Chains A and B, each alone.
Chain A
Amino acid sequence: ASVEEIKSKGTLVVGIQGDNAPWGFVNSSGKQDGFDADVATLFAKELGVKVRFQPLAVANRIPALTTGKVDILFATMAMTEERAKSIQYSKPYAANTISLYAAKADAVKSTADVAGWEIGVPKSSSQDKAVTDAVGSTATIRRFDDDAATIQALISGQAKAVGGNQFYGQRLDAASAGTYERKIDFLTTYNGVGTRLGEKDWNETVNAFLDKIKGNGELAAITKKWMAIDLPTFPESIPNIPFTVK
């Protein structure tokens, strides 16, 4: 469906993650919530339509979009070359920085300093991949079920460091203020809004919307609310990942 058709229908179906707090998750009152939900709600308001969320699992995000089950993806989609072949990305609207967190007391300058350490990561996450690529051969990687267990491992001392994303700092502080800090950044990935390939109207509408909320501070506010960080700076372009329909 085109943007115009959706406007006349009055409801936007948004594909979103259902269990990935704080990005997109169903909260304990059963309502869709999170960073993506806030941005998508704002987008629907922009279009003047109501929003309906369709929670998706990691693996079926792209099929749901391409088969038309959802109109658009605000689904914590890290922008990769591989995926850019199947969907159209917008400009980035969120960043995900993967870093090593450890106690302030432990000096870490480079990846060489963590040789022999036990490092916790959530199993099969992008942290897992990044940390394993960087120090997997010199340190012991302990893979936990999720972020919560990973953070608990650092607090309990079962891991000397953990591979985390930008939320970890805040959570570690909440658990034990001033004890832990970010040591090494491994990489930053960016999330984009996903639309179907070749649908220029959707791509342009989304990009215009993102420019607007970046400009008026609304995105910064949402970022602050969910991530407790300032709005990151976004790159103008990423190789092989077009932000606009050619």
Chain B
Amino acid sequence: MGYTFDFGAVFDRAPELFWGSLGTLGLAFAGMLLALVIGILGVAVRTSKIAWVRAPVIAFVEVVRNTPFLVQIFFIYFALPLMGIRLNPTTTAVIALGINGGAYAIEIIRGGVESISKGQIEAGFALGLHKADVFRLIVLKPSLRAIYPSLTSQFVMLTLTTSVCTSIAAYELTSAAQRIESDTFRSFEVYFTVTAIYLVISSLMMGIFALISRSYFNYPTR
């Protein structure tokens, strides 16, 4: 085929790609943190024995998991202002990413919590620990360990999902790429470059996740 690659035009815009990448990293990081908090708190409530305590969390999970992220971010960005809550694109993006990731995290972590043997929880109670302590000190860590790869996969996915935030004009890698593409018409070069950058970012994340797991889950198992 006659297509000749020319990355020059793309590399000329390296600073934009750099700032875009930082934007993506920032959104991903903040979104992940929020998602983790929502996930852990949510699962604590989700595994309650009392049905009406569980119910709102279940509803939250079902609604968020089963609707597209785009719809959620549109809702927060465009519909909330009609009710008087106006958030800027970056805040919107972080909240949307956190809520979305959090809903998945709740379910993933629940899988881990339910893999903990009843005996562990009973032992905690028998020692006189309160429910919250049993969850925090006894259940949480082994649960997270059991589903760690699923959870980190979800976080990698969340990192890639930041690209959707371009649709509410948040500044991140994909929106930078789209501008460069529309200015240079070098679609292939732009896509390949951006793909490579995403790969670097997510590999970095996976590396960090692996380090965390090595130091946090360093206990042997039988």
Contact = CB atoms under 8 A, between A and B. Distances in A.
User: Do the two chains touch directly in the complex (Cβ atoms below 8 Å apart)?
Assistant: yes
Interface of A: 59, 120, 123-124, 142-145, 149, 152-153, 155-158
Interface in B49-94: 74, 77-79, 81-82, 86, 89
B171 to A, nearest CB: 9
B79 A156 contact: yes
Contact of B167 (A144, A157, A158): A144
A149 B89 CA distance: 13
A143 B175 contact: yes
Nearest to B86: A157
A152 B168 CA distance: 11
B41 interface: no
A142 B81 contact: no
B196 interface: no
B169 A144 contact: yes
B178 A152 contact: no
Contacts of A157: 81, 86
A153 B182 contact: no
B178 A153 contact: no
Interface residues of B, number: 18
Contacts of A149: 74, 78, 167-168
A18 B20 CA distance: 31
A152 B74 CA distance: 10
Given A143-B175, A144-B169, A145-B167, A123 B81 contact: no
Contacts of A142: 89, 169
A156 B169 contact: no
A149 B185 CA distance: 24
A158 B78 contact: yes
Contacts of B169: 120, 142-144, 153
Contacts of B74: 149
Given A123-B178, A123-B182, A158-B86, A152 B167 contact: no
Given A142-B89, A158-B81, A124 B179 contact: yes
A120 B81 CA distance: 16
B188 to A, nearest CB: 13
Nearest to B89: A142
A206 to B, nearest CB: 28
8 contacts: A123-B175, A124-B181, A124-B182, A142-B89, A149-B168, A156-B77, A156-B79, A158-B78
A176 B129 CA distance: 59
Given A149-B168, A155-B78, A157-B81, 9 more contacts: A143-B175, A143-B179, A144-B168, A144-B169, A149-B74, A149-B78, A152-B78, A156-B78, A158-B77
Closest 7 pairs between A and B when the two form their complex, measured CB to CB: A124-B182, A142-B169, A156-B81, A156-B78, A145-B167, A157-B81, A152-B78
A129 to B, nearest CB: 9
A149 B79 CA distance: 12
